[in-house]
Amino acid sequence: MNNEAEKILADKNIKPTAMRILVLKELLLQSDAVSLYDLEQKFDKVERTTLFRTLNTFVENSLIHKIDDGTGAVKYALCEKDCTCELKDLHLHFLCTKCGRTFCLKDIPIPSFQLPDNFVFETANFVIKGVCPHCHK
Ligand SMILES: [Zn+2]
Ligand SMILES: [Zn+2]
Ligand SMILES: [Zn+2]
């Protein structure tokens, strides 16, 4: 598993430090997006600032992407292998109103659109709210 994490980091041109491998391994175990707070709970002795810096490095290198699901806490999820986090790579996200988990709907790209003149695109958050399969029983 260490090797897998190291390879993923190398693929994204990120230097594989012990800390980065540790954080990536944790992210690989997640099935939904995690907040900085969620991650902090998983490590005993890791400073929040260190964790935050590590996540930022991952974001800058398109290893993970940030999701603003409207809950106030930014969440993070792993990107696809060839993701460059451009408009073409963006997908829908799903926020479960029962359990509060946020999922990547990687197979559903955000709808294409044409902005009116003089509006410059920066980023988009497409968040669907509803009940996830775990809670819908
Ligand atoms: Zn991405
Ligand atoms: Zn749920
Ligand atoms: Zn996502």
Q: Where are the domains of the chain?
A: 2-130
* pLDDT score of 1 more than 70: no
96 known ligand binder: yes
- Topology of domain 2-130 in CATH is Arc Repressor Mutant, subunit A (1.10.10)
State the ligand closest to the CA atom of 131: 2
Bridge partners, 103 (sequence order):
94
Measured CA to CA, the distance from residue 7 to residue 84 in angstroms comes to 17
pLDDT of residue 137: 82
First and final CA of the chain: distance in angstroms? 34
Ligand closest to 82 (CA) is 1
Q: Is 83 annotated as a binding residue?
A: no
Q: Is 135 annotated as a binding residue?
A: yes
How far is Cα 85 from Cα 118, in angstroms, rounded to an integer?
23
pLDDT in tens, 102-115: 999 999 999 888 99
Q: Could you tell me the two tokens for 9?
A: 């980091």
Q: Is 99 annotated as a binding residue?
A: yes
Tens digit of each residue's pLDDT (9 = 90 or more) over 28-44: 999 999 999 999 999 98
- Tens digits of residue pLDDT in 109-132: 998 889 999 999 888 889 999 999
Nearest ligand, measured from the Cα of 12: 1
Tell me the pLDDT tens digit for each residue of 55-108.
999 999 999 999 999 899 999 999 999 999 988 899 999 999 999 999 999 999
Which residues are CB-contacts of 95 (< 8 A; sequence separation ≥ 6)? 69, 70, 71, 101, 102, 127, 128, 129, 130
Contact in structure between 35 and 43 (CB atoms under 8 Å): no
